[in-house]
Copies of this chain bind each other. A is one copy, B any other.
Amino acid sequence: MHKTALKLFMIPTVLADDTQDQVLSPGVISAIESLDIFFVENVRTARRFISSLRLGKVIDELTFIELNKDTPEAETYDALKRLTRDAGVISEAGCPGIADPGAVAVNLAHQLGIQVVPLVGPSSILLALMASGLSGQSFAFHGYLPIDKVQRKKMIQTLERESRQRQQTQLFMETPFRNNQLLDTLLETCQPDTMLSIAADITAATEFLKTMPVRNWKSNKPDLHKRPVIFSIG
């Protein structure tokens, strides 16, 4: 089979438990129905996700190929090269290829002439931006901020400056158990009139989305401990 006839589907998953019936597009469901080979960030989560869709697929007959940050690129390359059927990429949460190792598989797929097909599903970054009211004409996502406290403050100041100079919304995140500390650092570092948007538990029943000037957040701090959050300033 000629490689150019093969497709690699980028398959979004859920951001919050039990939301699959609300947030997945029909394209995602039909791709999962038609495939039996998946590159996945975590095999256990991927199995559970596919089971949750109740498509009648026999999970034990599916092939899962691990693709996480420790997977050697050569291993993914070989697996793609050996493909004789279409395959999918599924990450831990949200859209594969965004803030996860899925982009490696896509990069290699382009090199091998495999057609990449992105499917519509939830992205916490995009949903946070849509709900922020901050500029969606120009925006940047930076992933995790530096862990070192001094470097972190410097980075926040840089992002605040760029958001003003470029009128560009700056989005970033933190490991959920350190969200409250990041919020404290933001509130003590940013100018009082800088707009800060907090998007927590996106798509869940506990979803919290709010944008206010930094000065207003100081006396209204939400508890963000262990909740997935996207922060934006603009």
Query: Contact at B140–A140, with CB atoms within 8 Å?
Result: yes
CA distance A168 to B103 in the complex (A): 13
- A191 contacts chain B at the CB level, 8 A cutoff: no
**0 or 1 for each of A5-41: is its CB under 8 Å from B? (1 = yes):** 0000010000000000111111100100000000000
Q: Is chain A's interface secondary structure helix, strand, loop, or mixed overall?
A: mixed
Whether the Cβ atoms of B139 and A126 lie closer than 8 Å is no
Known: A27-B23, A209-B118. A10 touches B140 (CB 8 A): no
A228 at the interface (CB under 8 A from B): no
Indicate whether A45 reaches chain B with its CB closer than 8 angstroms: no
Picked from B26, B96, B122, the residue with its CB within 8 Å of the CB of A21 is B26
Distance of A18 Cα from B96 Cα, bound (Å): 25
B27 touches A25 (CB 8 A): no
CB within 8 A of A143: which of B106, B137, B143? B137
CB < 8 Å neighbour of A23 from B22, B103, B120: B120
- Copies of this chain, complex-wide, total 2
Interface size on A, residues (CB 8 A): 59
CB interface residues, A 82-106, toward B, < 8 Å:
95-100, 102-106
Interface string of A124-135 (1 = CB under 8 A from B): 011111111111
Instruction: Flag if B24 contacts A130 (CB, 8 Å).
Output: no
Q: Does A54 sit within 8 A of B, measured CB to CB?
A: no
**Which A-B residue pairs are the 10 nearest by beta carbons?**
A107-B133, A106-B133, A140-B140, A98-B136, A118-B130, A97-B130, A118-B127, A118-B131, A22-B27, A116-B131
